[in-house]
Amino acid sequence: MEKPFYLTFLRSELQKRSDKNSKYSLRAFARQLDLDAGTLSSILNGKRPLSMDMAEKILTRLKCNESTREIVLSSVARFHSQRPMTRRDPKIKNYSFTYNSKKKVLGLDIFHIISDWYHQAILEMTYLDNFSDNPEWIARELNISVPTAKLALNRLIEYGLIEKKPEGYTKKDAHLEIEQPYLTSSARKSKQIQIRTKAIESIKQDPVDSRYMTTITMCIDPDLLPAARKKIDAFNDTLCAFLESGKRKQVYVLEMGLFSLQRMNLNRGKNEKSS
């Protein structure tokens, strides 16, 4: 049976907390979820299925938004639907299988994966001649913990984002699209915050000739923003193709932001039109 998505979700939540606090343990996670540590351990190891009631409780304790709740609950319900009738949770009949197709399941996994910057960094690192699937090597290159590197690599392999070939691991698709409508804004915000944090680190640590940071402040017509987004997307694609046309030796990220420096007043436009 395919590994249920709720396991990936729970393991990811535990890993995120461990990354922030090295002393954060499974017991601490169990206390946060108001669960017995042994029960949680059995669930995370796939030895005990997650019931619908327990899933509801966990999602409430984690204060998940409605989109995430629907994703996880659908995963739990789908898992139970594949079990023998006598072992199914009878409450699955109360839940719809909103994300039942394989394509959408992959997208929802990417939904959680994409919010952590190092996953896409590992994907791009597979183009390096000296790439190693050793978690210690990955951790050293990206300045992340070995457990984090190992978990990230396993996720990418498990969901088919990288594949094993005679010459080693390679990225399966040239570029991942993250424009799926079911991705929540919280995941995108998380990724953007992480990338901008990395940009600040680069400003402080990296030599000027290895990076390029530039800004321009403008007074603009906000009605032109939709067209500006398209121009930025086109520029990103063009620059990406240009930089990837040479010998791939280092993983970089291009981060670009266009936003207002004034306090946003959502009613300003309406008031101006009515005056």
pLDDT digits (tens, 9 = 90+) for 113-138: 667 899 989 999 998 999 999 999 99
* Of 184 and 81, the one with more pLDDT: 81
Domain boundaries, the chain: 5-100, 102-275
Highest mean pLDDT among 7-16, 36-45, 151-160, 227-236: 36-45
Q: Which of 182, 136, 130, 138 is nearest to 156 (CA)?
A: 138
- Give the per-residue pLDDT at 100: 39
The answer on pLDDT for 200 being more than 90 is yes
Q: Using 50, 70 and 90 to split pLDDT, how confident is the model at 91?
A: low
pLDDT of residue 137: 96
Residue with tokens 């040479």: 246
pLDDT band at 240 (very low <50, low <70, confident <90, very high): confident
Q: Which pLDDT score is estimated for 101?
A: 34
Average pLDDT of every residue of the chain: 81
% the chain with pLDDT above 90: 39
- The greatest distance separating any two alpha carbons of the chain, rounded to the nearest whole angstrom, comes to 69
Which one is the CATH code of 5-100: 3.30.70, 1.10.260, 3.30.750, 3.40.50? 1.10.260
Answer whether residue 104 shows pLDDT above 70: no
Q: Are 162 and 170 in contact (CB under 8 A)?
A: yes
**Mean pLDDT, residues 15-35 taken together:** 91
What's the pLDDT score for residue 198? 96
In angstroms, the CA 117 to CA 195 distance is: 7
Mean pLDDT of 146-167: 83
Residue 146 scores a pLDDT above 50: yes
Least Cα distance to 58 among 44, 42, 47, 69 occurs for 69
- Asked if 7 contacts 46 with a C-beta cutoff of 8 angstroms, the reply is yes
Choice among 8-12, 94-98, 193-197, 258-262 with the minimum mean pLDDT: 94-98
The average pLDDT across 245-259 equals 91
* pLDDT at res. 142: 97
Cβ-proximal residues to 49 (8 Å cutoff; 6+ apart), any chain: 43, 79, 80, 83, 89
Q: Round the CA-based radius of gyration of the chain to a whole number and report it.
A: 22
- Residue 238: pLDDT band (50, 70, 90) is confident
Dist CA 124 CA 170 (whole Å): 9
pLDDT band at 102 (very low <50, low <70, confident <90, very high): very low
pLDDT value of residue 173: 62
Task: Please tell me the predicted confidence (pLDDT) of residue 118.
Answer: 94
